Chain A
Amino acid sequence: MNEWEVFRQERRGQPMEHAGSVVAPDADFAEAWAREQYGRRGESVALWLVPRTAIRDVEDWADEFDLKYRRVDGYSIKARLKEARERAGTTVDR
Chain B
Amino acid sequence: MNAQALLSIADDELFLGWRESEWTGIAPMLEEDVAFSSIAQNEIGHARALYQLVVGEDGDADALAFDRRLDEYRCAPFVELRLLDWAHTIARRWLYETADEIRIAALKSDPDPAVAGLAAKIDREETYHRMHAEMWHDRLANEARFQEATAELWPYAVGMLPEELRDELAVRIGLALPSDKLSQAHERGTHTEYLAPMWEEMTEVRRSAPAGAQW
- Tell me, yes or no, whether B128 is within 8 Å of chain A by CB: yes
Interface 9-mer from B31-39, B68-76, B90-98: B31-39
Whether the pair A36, B131 counts as a contact (CB closer than 8 A) is no
Chain A hits for B1, CB < 8 A = none
Q: Are B135 and A35 in contact (CB under 8 A)?
A: no
A residues 1-58 near B (Cβ < 8 Å) are 22-26, 28-29, 31-33, 35-37, 40
Q: Mark B26-67, 1 if CB is under 8 A from A, else 0.
A: 000111101100110000000000000000000000000000
B139 at the interface (CB under 8 A from A): yes
**B38–A28 CB distance below 8 A:** no
**Residue B82 CB within 8 A of the other chain:** no
Given A23-B29, A35-B128, A29 and B135 contact (CB-CB distance below 8 Å): yes
Q: Is B139's CB under 8 angstroms from A32's CB?
A: no
Q: Is B19 an interface residue (CB 8 A)?
A: no
How many B residues are at the interface, by size bracket?
A: 10 to 19
CA–CA, A37 and B35, complex, Å: 7
Q: How many A-B residue pairs have CB under 8 A?
A: 34
**Complex-state Cα separation, A23 to B135, whole angstroms:** 15
Which residue of B has the minimal Cβ distance to A30? B31
- Asked if B166 is at the interface (CB within 8 A of a chain A CB), the reply is no
Inter-chain contacts of B35 with A (CB < 8 A) = 32-33, 35-37
Q: Which residues of B contact A29 (CB under 8 A)?
A: 31, 135, 139
Q: Out of B30, B31, B38, name the residue touching A40 (CB < 8 Å).
A: B38
**Which residues of chain B are near A22, meaning CB under 8 Å?**
31
CB atoms of A33 and B128 under 8 A apart: no
B32 proximity list for chain A (CB < 8 A)? 33
A33 and B34 within 8 A (CB): yes
* Residue of A28, A31, A33, A37 with most chain B CB atoms under a 10 A cut-off: A33
In the complex, the answer to whether B31 meets A24 with C-beta atoms within 8 Å is yes
In the bound complex, CA of A37 to CA of B30 (Å): 10
Measured in the bound complex, the distance between the Cα atoms of B35 and A22 in whole Å is 12
Give A84 to B39 CA distance when docked, in angstroms: 64
The interface residues of chain A lying within 8 Å CB-to-CB of B128 are: 32, 35
Residue of A23, A24, A26, A32 near B132 (CB, 8 A) is A32
Q: How many angstroms between the C-alpha atoms of A72 and B57 in the bound complex?
A: 62
* Complex Cα spacing A35 to B139, Å: 19
- What is the CA–CA distance of A28 and B128 in the complex, to the nearest angstrom? 12
How far, in whole Å, are A23 and B132 apart by their CA atoms in the complex? 16
Chain A positions within 8 Å of B, measured between CB atoms, are 22-26, 28-29, 31-33, 35-37, 40
Q: Could you give 28 example pairs across A and B, Cβ below 8 Å?
A: A23-B29, A23-B30, A23-B31, A24-B31, A26-B139, A28-B135, A28-B138, A29-B31, A29-B135, A29-B139, A32-B35, A32-B128, A32-B131, A32-B132, A33-B31, A33-B32, A33-B34, A33-B35, A35-B35, A35-B128, A36-B31, A36-B34, A36-B35, A36-B38, A36-B39, A37-B31, A37-B35, A40-B38
